[in-house]
């Protein structure tokens, strides 16, 4: 496609969570530091939340890479399982060979032994859960009980949960006050500011082999900021399409009109100068006008509404 044309070694704005593209700055670096400090202090529960597309999975994968030298990590990317299914998933990640019909007592006994062994080997176990907002209630309660496994001095299991804002909403209820009190560190990923979008785009282009060349002109980055609302996933989608548009014209760099063309082809994109809420409100208003005009038309023809 456009790799040779722009002198790139790789597609810089792929949506796959390739950790070589992790942007080690801004909110992502702050969130990573929060989690690492919490784990170093032996805290039992850490939580990171953010809207869809803010980079939680990339952060999760990067965290796993950072932990592998000092910790025993267990990763559950889809925790939409039963309570015993979660325990068995953890056992499987720790290399325990248990039958699928193993009872709760046996699973807990084997898990406790494995957690103790890891702690004695100075490689404590960290359970990392992605999409934690999808956990059934019984599974979330089982997770809380797993963190009861401890010695007189230390927790045997530390947990890092990544989830959408719905996770915060669930945990705010009275039912989860015990679990909520155990979450000692939290971080919320937000949207990027324009200066951060500029840095983010430059970082990904550099990793992809641009050699520092300015493939996106200043006005193009401004348009990316406006049309994406600072949502990293949307920045990636629009930047990729804008590169395609510039390539199709044989241009050596991306301009504002290329980004705007990409935005017109992307449902979630915003119009420059408007917030996501304002654009949504304008769209709803326009739809209501169309409906009103249609009803008036039918009334004029004598048709009952």
Q: Domain containing 9 — which CATH number?
A: 1.10.8
Whether 70 and 159 share a structural domain: yes
Same domain, 159 and 207: no
For the chain, the domain total comes to 2
Last residue of a domain, one of 137, 171, 189: 189
Query: Do the domain assignments include residue 83?
Result: yes
- Residues pairing with 254 in the sheet: 216
Instruction: Verify that 111 and 131 share a domain, yes or no.
Output: yes
pLDDT of residue 300: 44
DSSP element (H, E) containing 37: helix 26-40
Which CATH number covers residue 168? 3.40.50.300
Last residue of a domain, one of 154, 171, 189: 189
Domain identity same for 236 and 118: no
Written as tens digits, the pLDDT of the chain (305 aa) is: 899 999 999 999 999 999 999 998 889 999 999 999 999 998 889 999 999 999 999 999 999 999 999 999 999 999 999 999 999 999 999 999 888 788 889 999 999 999 999 999 999 999 999 999 999 999 999 999 998 888 878 889 999 999 999 999 999 999 999 999 999 999 999 999 999 999 999 999 999 999 767 899 999 999 999 999 999 999 999 999 999 999 999 999 999 999 999 999 999 998 665 444 444 443 344 344 333 434 443 444 343 33
Same domain, 200 and 181: no
In a domain, 174, yes or no: yes
Residue 218, in any domain of the structure? yes
Calpha distance 263→249 (Å, rounded): 17
Query: Can you give the pLDDT at residue 304?
Result: 36
> How far apart are alpha carbons 56 and 54 in whole angstroms?
6
Q: For the chain, how far is it from start to end, CA to CA, in angstroms?
A: 53
Classify residue 108: in a domain, yes or no.
yes
Strand-pairing partners, residue 163, are: 49
- pLDDT score of 280: 44
Q: CA 11 to CA 305: how far, in whole Å?
A: 53
Q: Give the position of tokens 């949504």.
A: 280
Question: Would you give the distance in Å from CA 273 to the centre of its chain?
Answer: 26
Range of the domain at 145: 41-189
| Residues forming a β-bridge with 74 | 127
């Amino acid at each position: 496609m456009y790799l040779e044309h722009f002198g790139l070694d790789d597609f810089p704005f792929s949506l796959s969570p390739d950790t070589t593209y992790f942007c080690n700055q801004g909110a992502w670096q702050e969130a990573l530091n929060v989690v690492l400090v919490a784990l170093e202090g032996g805290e039992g529960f850490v939580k990171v939340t953010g809207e869809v597309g803010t980079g939680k999975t990339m952060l999760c994968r990067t965290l796993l890479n950072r932990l592998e030298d000092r910790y025993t990590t267990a990763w559950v990317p889809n925790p939409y399982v039963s309570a015993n299914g979660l325990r068995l998933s953890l056992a499987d990640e720790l290399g325990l060979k248990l039958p699928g019909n193993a009872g709760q007592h046996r699973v807990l006994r084997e898990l406790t032994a494995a957690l103790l062994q890891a702690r004695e080997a100075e490689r404590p176990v960290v359970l990392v859960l992605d999409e934690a907002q999808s956990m059934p209630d019984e599974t979330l309660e089982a997770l809380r009980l797993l963190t009861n496994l401890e010695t007189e001095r230390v927790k045997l299991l530390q947990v890092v949960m990544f989830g959408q804002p719905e996770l915060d909403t669930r945990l705010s209820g009275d039912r989860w006050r015990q679990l909520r009190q155990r979450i000692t560190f939290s971080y919320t990923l937000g949207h990027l500011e324009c200066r951060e979008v500029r840095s983010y785009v430059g970082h990904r282009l550099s990793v992809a082999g641009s050699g520092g060349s300015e493939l996106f002109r200043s006005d193009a980055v401004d348009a990316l900021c406006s049309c994406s609302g600072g949502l990293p996933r949307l920045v990636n989608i629009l930047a990729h399409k804008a590169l395609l548009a510039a390539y199709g014209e044989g241009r050596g760099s991306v301009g504002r009109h290329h980004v705007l063309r990409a935005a017109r082809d992307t449902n979630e994109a915003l119009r420059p100068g408007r917030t996501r809420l304002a654009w949504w409100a304008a769209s709803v208003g326009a739809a209501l006008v169309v409906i009103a005009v249609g009803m008036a038309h039918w009334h004029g023809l004598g048709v009952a509404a």
